[in-house]
Amino acid sequence: MRSAVYLTLVVALAAVAPSLHAQDQKSEILKRLNSEFTRTKMTTDRSDIVTAGSVLVLHKDGLLMCGVQAIAPPTNTYKNGAISLGFGANMAWGMALAPANQQPVNLPQRKFVTGEKFWVAEYLVKDDGVVLEFFSDPFNDVRYYGQLKFPFPKGAVPPADNVMKTIEEVITVEAPAQDAPAADASSGAAAQPAQAPDQPAQAAPPKTIALGQTTDEVIAILGQPQKIVNLGAKQMYFYPDMKVIFTNGKVSDVQ
């Protein structure tokens, strides 16, 4: 009798072990994603950025995204070294849009290519793969979003190292902008004269940024930004209390 009970326990544990191992692998993958990518927080209507996170650089062509007015984004797949949106995925996207009477053909769409940049807003580790969600800056007043899935081999969750290496084939985090080097005393730069003690301190004039100013003019007024996000024709300079947006090298918006 005891032998039968023991055998039953062994069989039960053997059946559960693969599931527990898969859960451990998924947890480790999520941990690695959290350490690699910082999520960007979007407004409820997905029209603007609330908190900037990691900027990603694309290393493969063909990532399809659609306008943020769509209730659901397309889900691309990376497999065998290429990004694609297959017939089945396109059908699934159409079904997801149906409750809002939307159709893929009526939505703004854009294929992103190698070298372009965007934000990562979400990443999920599912039983069959990792899914990341991206948002672009506006192109001709249209902001795009889309998903990219990295599928797992059937019946197995791969090690976290393997998953991250595959993801890095397609996207990497943009390197942070280098801070301007501090002035060295040996460089011969003239020191600023100290204010005479019997003179009252003068209040600094308010710093004013105007539309149309160049990046050099803004840096001359505000100094070097804490962070620069370069998105082709558009650049975003982040300061402690404001965000300055340049289009083609000139101020187009201040937030």
189-209 pLDDT per residue, tens = 444 545 545 555 555 566 778
Which stretch of DSSP H or E encloses residue 88?
A: helix 87-97
With 90 as the cut, is the pLDDT of residue 188 above it? no
pLDDT exceeds cutoff 70 at 181: no
pTM across the whole model:
0.64
Would you state the structure tokens that stand for residue 152, as one six-digit string? 């797992």
3-state secondary structure 159-213: CHHHHHHHHHHHEEECCCCCCCCCCCHHHCCCCCCCCCCCCCCCCCCCCCCCCCC
Beta strands in 28-112 (DSSP E): 41-42, 49-51, 55-58, 63-67, 75-79, 82-84, 109-112
CATH label, 208-255, candidates 3.40.1280.10, 3.40.50.300, 3.40.50.1000, 3.30.1450.10:
3.30.1450.10
pLDDT tens digit sequence for 101-158: 999 999 999 999 999 999 999 999 999 999 999 999 999 999 999 999 999 998 789 9
Boundaries of every domain in the chain: 23-173, 208-255
